[in-house]
Structure 1
Amino acid sequence: MSSPKRTTIYDVAREAGVAASTVSRAFSNPRRVNATTREHVLEIAERLGYRPNPLATALQSGRTATIAMLVPDITNPHFFGTIHGAERRASAAGITFILSYTEESADNERSQIERLARSVDGFVLAASRMSDGTTVELAREHNLVLVNREVEGLPSAVVDNGPGSWQIVEHLASLGHRSLVYLSGPHQSWLAGERWRALRAGAEQRGMTAARLGPFPPRVVGGGAAADAALVSGATAVVAHNDLLAIGILRRFAERGVRVPQEISVVGYDDIFGADFCVPALTTLAGPHEEAGRAAVELLLRRGSPSAAETAPRRVTLSSHLVIRDSTGPAPR
Structure 2
Amino acid sequence: MQQQDPEPAGETEPVAGAPRRPATIYDVARAAGLATSTVSRTFSNPTRVSARTREHVHAVAEQLGYQPNPLARALPSGRTRTVALIVADITNPHFFGIIRGAEEQVRAAGFTLILGDSKESPELEARHVEQLSRSVDGFLIAASRMADDSIRELASHRLTLINRQVDGYSSAIVDVVDGTRQIVEHLASLGHTSLVYLAGPRRSWLAAQRWHALRTAARALGLTATRLGPFPPTMHGGGAAADAALGSKTTAAVAHNDLLGIGVLRRFAERGVGVPSDISVVGYDDIFGADFCSPPLTTLAGPFEELGRAGVDLLLRARGPERRGPQPQQLVLPAHLVIRGSTGPAPG
TM-score by length of 1: 0.86
SS at match of 1:317: strand
Larger deviation: 221-230 or 44-53?
44-53
**Of residues 309, 324, 327 in structure 1, which corresponds to 2:339?**
324
SS at match of 1:291: helix
What is the alpha-carbon distance in structure 2 between the residues aligned to residue 106 and residue 194 of structure 1? Answer: 18
Match of 2:275 in 1: 260
Matching of residue 126 in structure 1 with residue 142 in structure 2: yes
SS at match of 2:76: helix
Q: CA deviation at 1:54?
A: 5.9
In structure 2, give the amino acid aligned to 1:126: A
Distance of aligned partners of 1:87 and 1:312 in 2 relative to their CA distance in 1, 3 Å threshold: farther
Match of 2:156 in 1: 141
Q: Is the 8 A contact 1:7 1:50 kept in 2?
A: no
Match of 1:299 in 2: 314
SS at match of 1:153: coil
**Of residues 155, 178, 189 in structure 2, which corresponds to 1:174?**
189
What is the alpha-carbon distance in structure 1 between the residues aligned to residue 43 and residue 14 of structure 2? Answer: 29
Q: Is the 8 A contact 2:319 2:328 kept in 1?
A: no
Alignment of 1:1-333 (within 5 A): 2-3=14-15, 24=41, 44=52, 50=58, 53=68, 55=70, 56-138=72-154, 140-303=155-318, 310-311=325-326, 314-333=329-348
In structure 1, give the amino acid aligned to 2:197: Y
Q: Is the 8 A contact 1:302 1:312 kept in 2?
A: no
Q: Is the 8 A contact 2:168 2:328 kept in 1?
A: no
In structure 1, give the amino acid aligned to 2:216: A
Distance of aligned partners of 1:44 and 1:73 in 2 relative to their CA distance in 1, 3 Å threshold: same
In structure 2, give the amino acid aligned to 1:205: A
Distance of aligned partners of 1:122 and 1:47 in 2 relative to their CA distance in 1, 3 Å threshold: closer
Q: CA deviation at 1:311?
A: 3.7
SS at match of 1:246: helix
In structure 2, give the amino acid aligned to 1:151: V
Distance of aligned partners of 1:244 and 1:42 in 2 relative to their CA distance in 1, 3 Å threshold: farther
Distance of aligned partners of 1:322 and 1:45 in 2 relative to their CA distance in 1, 3 Å threshold: farther
Q: Is the 8 A contact 1:78 1:270 kept in 2?
A: yes
Distance of aligned partners of 1:117 and 1:87 in 2 relative to their CA distance in 1, 3 Å threshold: same
Q: Is the 8 A contact 1:69 1:99 kept in 2?
A: yes
CA-to-aligned-CA distance 1:281-332 (integer Å, 9 cap, x gap) = 00000000111111111111122789x9634661221100000000000000
Q: Is the 8 A contact 1:302 1:309 kept in 2?
A: no
Q: CA deviation at 1:238?
A: 0.3
What is the alpha-carbon distance in structure 1 between the residues aligned to residue 320 and residue 231 of structure 2? Answer: 41
What is the alpha-carbon distance in structure 1 between the residues aligned to residue 274 and residue 82 of structure 2? Answer: 50
Percent of aligned pairs sharing the same letter: 58
What is the alpha-carbon distance in structure 2 between the residues aligned to residue 151 and residue 304 of structure 1? Answer: 15
Q: Is the 8 A contact 1:260 1:328 kept in 2?
A: yes
SS at match of 1:150: coil
Q: CA deviation at 1:235?
A: 1.0
Match of 1:35 in 2: none
In structure 2, give the amino acid aligned to 1:182: Y
What is the alpha-carbon distance in structure 1 between the residues aligned to residue 180 and residue 45 of structure 2? Answer: 49
Q: Specify every segment of 5 or more residues in structure 2 that has no aligned partner in the other structure, as ranges.
A: 1-12, 19-26, 62-67
Q: CA deviation at 1:58?
A: 1.6
In structure 2, give the amino acid aligned to 1:75: T
In structure 2, give the amino acid aligned to 1:179: S
SS at match of 1:64: coil
SS at match of 2:153: helix
What is the alpha-carbon distance in structure 2 between the residues aligned to residue 174 and residue 281 of structure 1? Answer: 19
Q: Is the 8 A contact 2:157 2:320 kept in 1?
A: no
CA-to-aligned-CA distance 1:148-173 (integer Å, 9 cap, x gap) = 00001101111111100000000000
SS at match of 1:274: coil
Q: Is the 8 A contact 2:319 2:326 kept in 1?
A: no
Q: Specify every segment of 5 or more residues in structure 1 that has no aligned partner in the other structure, as ranges.
A: 31-37
